[in-house]
């Protein structure tokens, strides 16, 4: 079954505390699961990048909602495409933040290892966008660039 992927960047309207990020993620995980949406969210230096994937109508509707959410400003879609398989088929939402909050979120998966391992073996456009954002915003450092 074909899946729709969308990647966007945005500026956070403020610095999010760990508690606020936990609340945001728990709501996103619950809502996204019911819509069949999976993805990956990175946050750092008051910037977000998110990869959303799932049924096209659901992903587009969620992106529209995000683009008018007051927690975001300067929302910019940077990629969209249809793919055969999800990058995150088993995840409600992958997440990476400079702080360690993994033990506070049900359904959380730390994507830092995924970023390192997947970029050396997969040159997908979506993963490249996420990787470049993570390096630019110092969420991770790497000597290895995507293929």
Ordered per-residue pLDDT tens for the chain, 147 residues: 899 999 898 999 998 887 888 888 888 888 888 899 988 887 777 888 888 999 999 999 999 999 999 999 999 998 888 988 888 777 655 555 544 444 444 554 555 555 545 544 555 666 666 666 666 665 544 444 433
Q: Which two tokens stand for residue 68?
A: 């008018």
- Identify the burial level of 46 via C-beta atoms within 10 angstroms of its C-beta, where 0-12 means exposed, 13-18 middle and 19 or more buried: middle
- Does the predicted model carry a pTM greater than 0.85? no
**According to CATH, what is the number of the domain 3-111?**
3.30.70.100
Q: What letter would DSSP give residue 147?
A: -
Domain ranges of the chain: 3-111
Whether 26 and 116 have beta carbons less than 8 Å apart is answered as no
CA distance 85 to 10: 26
């Amino acid at each position: 079954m074909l899946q729709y992927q969308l990647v966007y960047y945005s500026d956070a309207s403020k610095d999010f505390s760990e508690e606020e990020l936990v609340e945001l993620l728990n709501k996103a995980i619950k809502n996204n699961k019911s819509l069949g949406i999976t993805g990956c969210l990175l946050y750092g230096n008051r910037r977000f990048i998110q990869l959303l994937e799932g049924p096209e109508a659901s992903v587009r509707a969620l992106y529209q909602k995000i683009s008018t959410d007051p927690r975001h400003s300067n929302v910019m879609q940077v990629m969209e495409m249809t793919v055969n398989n999800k990058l995150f088929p088993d995840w409600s939402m992958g997440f990476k933040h400079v702080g360690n909050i993994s033990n506070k979120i049900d359904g959380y998966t730390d994507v830092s290892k995924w970023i390192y391992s997947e970029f050396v073996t997969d040159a997908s456009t979506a993963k490249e966008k996420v990787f470049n954002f993570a390096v630019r915003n110092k969420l991770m450092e790497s000597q290895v660039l995507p293929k």
